[in-house]
Structure 1
């Protein structure tokens, strides 16, 4: 068994979580290529991710692990196979406690053992009398029904020794690929791929709208389709609203939509795209300052980023650059000198952004985060500079501003939509935040 320090284990789990999507991608790719199930286990032997929903290689595994003793033996096997594969420097192929063939490849990341990829759940030959004799020992030890095990054995996949070796080699190559990558490199590749896919989807959506509009134009000579209408002002306002709230993921979704429209409108014209993205970056910086980011920090970042922008040679690099700018500006909204409880703050803000329409109180938020109201309030105020209730009010007011700008809803309805049952109290909170009443704000936005 590994001697695992709790603090180190927490750090390891954090590292694994950061590359969860990459691990998932590798598991899926391996399973599709080989047809053999694969799991990723952490340092304690617990299944972290699986290529299939049940997390078991075969029905025998499921049956054995349904018994406490069987589960313990499986964990021991996972641990020992991981140690062997580290020792040998290549995948370790072995028979598990029940005689099933498995193979393991360790995952070392940034010099630390984080877990193992384990595949198998197959046999290399049809079960003979000697194999069945060994299985009967497992029956007795775990109190399983012999007939049940024998029936399951008949349905286990038979794979040749050569194919097992080839599958183990693929697993080894896969883990080596992951091991040699830096965490930042993985994250950049992942974000780049996701961003390009979303921008591509947006461009295809715009093309479909244009085609539909042209078809409609043939039917109605008075109708027309304006490219400028593809980038409505409310989309930009939604982006800025999310930046002011420090909602990084939400802001990225809207940004990719805007980028798709910019690229479609200015296809292949890099200087025009550069100018449009620079305008967008300036607007983002202003939104960050409005969200209470430090002005000096933002001005310094603006100078640094504008210098970088002039050196960029491709449209793809421009898109990556503006996402980096967005990330930094969004982070700056609630950045603290020495933030220590990032996960708690993130979960708290996510809960509030998801539930702001409800009548939530401090106790509701603290229950969702599994912390006492006092402790959560203390951490949140210390790390963000605002209280939980102040942040909740901020989220509600930002949403109210969006509704005032983009809908015909009256003040009473908007108050209800953003979580206030009392219109007069809503107006009081709004005026305190924005300096004017909701009605005056709506009138100002019409000009």
Structure 2
């Protein structure tokens, strides 16, 4: 995944990730927040516990919380894997590093969990050893502390693996999309120059001009191949110009111009011709009604189907079928 990515926003749609993060926090029973490589939050805290809200509301203890988060992120990057640790309040937290092409972008911080004692002896580091000597409303805080979710270490690791897989998938899809968009932009610039007969941006060898122009034309045809294939396989469905442009990763306006240049007809006429060709087969080989055939090949209205059929074939679908059945020589039927 090579590319120049400046910050978290260039590899992760923060607005969409916030929605996913909120859902993950709710279903896993954890608190989640995403920070950049400096430790600065890029999302809002999802499902932050009342205990931690109170702790972070005090400047002194909030500063300690931030130090714990920073240290957790550093350890995750150093180990290049999820890092589970105990904060200064002996609460279980974890850092999931976001690393692309060996570059660290930030972390997804997950936690605010109490470890359920189940005989597991795996050591979990307490990364900030200072104790909190005083808490306001200590009885209330002890109660809120007891209400934190209790999980086994195995459960915590499963949750971290789930979130890690989701983050990696989203980041990889985002990078792939950005790459395709960039390639599409580069291709559009080249093709736009050709369509305008402006070759200033294309280096042509004087001895190979015809060959190079032929390659460009073939490249334009290749761009349209997914659309042609889609039309031929899905002619019976509703197909729009926007659908086909998206399939080819170009704008609708550019698709329309390129399609006409390469095929000699509008996309809508090409689609109609394919539909009518299939309708002729059904008229010849089945006893289905005109209404049934029109629906089967993609026309929702039999009247419109009849008008388009006559415009292309010179006769109505009914007359076409009758001529075939009567084996009349009055018309030459082209199959």
Q: TM-score, normalised by structure 2?
A: 0.49
Larger Rg: 2
Q: TM-score, normalised by structure 1?
A: 0.38
